Structure 1
Amino acid sequence: MDDSRGLHSVRRVHIAPLGYEHDRILLPATRYDADLLYLLGPTTPSSSSPDYHDDLVARLVETGIEVERVDVDLQDIYDVLGRTTTLVARHGDDEVLVNVSSGTALAAVGTTIACMTTHATAYTVEPETNAHDVHREPRTTGVANVESLPDYPIESPTRPQIAVMDYLAKQAEKGYTVRKRDLIEFAENADLRFMVDPPTTNRQSKYRRLQSAVVDPLTEKGYLDVRSAGRRKLVSLTDIGHSVYVAFEHKLKFG
């Protein structure tokens, strides 16, 4: 008898923002034998939700594709980016394809960047025809061609930097202010490599390590705000820093 323990069956996972589309989501998923399709977008029905979305989901399910709706603001690049990268990371051993042409323009940017930072492959779908009133019928019908986008790598914060950003975000949620001294203590307790390897007991050395590994690079990118309060240095995430943290926090869980 064959021992199949340890074997992994690779799944074909598709991710698609759910805009005013039908065929541009349905046909690539069925044509390329998707096992699972994540539909990104609002999960709460509203008066503006087109009727053909229900038909889309029904037809996907009829073909044997598992469908999961994921609540995402398609007008928020970082929400799209964060949700997409997290889903891709969840399927680290699977083949992941991302439809970057089925949602809003901002969703296209977010999903494209997500593919640049993960192992997912982005693709665009060229429609055969274009409709007009998207509330009455889909914007497009049929699929003329499906093309993969070139993969351009993009740099994300390092895992230790994301860990510090995570700490700052959670402390801010509690209403706490964070000093550099607090960040040093957190880095030591979390065994972040830049702080503990090699070990040091020198206080100034710890501040220099924090500054060079985290504070300086993230401040230069506009992710951190450092301000003086008397003799203390208070550190917080900027708005864009928080958005970047949301986009890449999956690295803390999935590596």
Structure 2
Amino acid sequence: MDTSVPSVAERRVHVVPLGYERDRIVEPLRRHGADVAYLLVDAPDRDGDRGDVDFDAAGAADPADTRVDPDGLTDYQRDAWTAVAEFAEVRPIPVALADVYDVLGVTTTVAARHRAGAEDGDRLFGNVSTGPRIAAVGVALACMIVGARPYSVEPERHRHDRRQEPLTEGVARTVDLPIYPMDAPTTDQVAVLGRLHERAEESLTTDKWNLIEWARERGLTFLREAGESRTAKYRALETHVLSPLRERGYVELEDIGRSDTVRLTEVGRRVFFAFKHKIDG
């Protein structure tokens, strides 16, 4: 989870399904200084369209004025709510946790409300560990779409030995999940990530001109229309490869002497292996 200190006006806002958990809901919020916690409370037959959020009711001072039925909660769910309220502002929202589109819509609506991702907006996080798997998918997809930070919480122990007994039994139904195009790196970008990984494995540094020469030898697309001008080649490398990779945190640049050394980040290394199939074919 991103633990960097927010600006004075920025708040840490968390979206957390109120599933059959207690510690995995409360402790991450406490440890990472949550300011606002939107608890997604299961309401399969709730009023309103998918993704609708009544922010006035969610922010009501008296829990009885919210749209959530407290009698439908377990004792430990109520305890989680009370514990979080001791250090953060709790805003409960009724959501059909088994409806991925409802969870997705509610999370993106909360993100829009807090201008998550904007320069003057709040910092948004999503807990993908505390609800049913469908809810986890909805929260994770929403975070990817709006540029928020999803996080997973590993428990210290389980209630029973999973080596001896399965977690569930039977099948009620299967649910189709939405498909959203992810902003995957281009083939050229994956190739450059691979070159940086290869050089790092050999403890060798790599500057921009090294990448240009290597890309030219292999006929990478971004250089085909750059012409013979050295300046144009640098511009093509920056525009089509390095700038997008740097914005996503996959590479870093370091000034050394008169050249820029390009370094692969740990995230960039993982992304390279995730998309390596693009250059293996």
TM-score (norm 2): 0.43
RCO greater where, 1 or 2, for CA within 8 Å and sep 6 or more?
1
- Which one has a larger percent strand, Structure 1 or Structure 2? 1
Q: Which has the larger radius of gyration?
A: 2
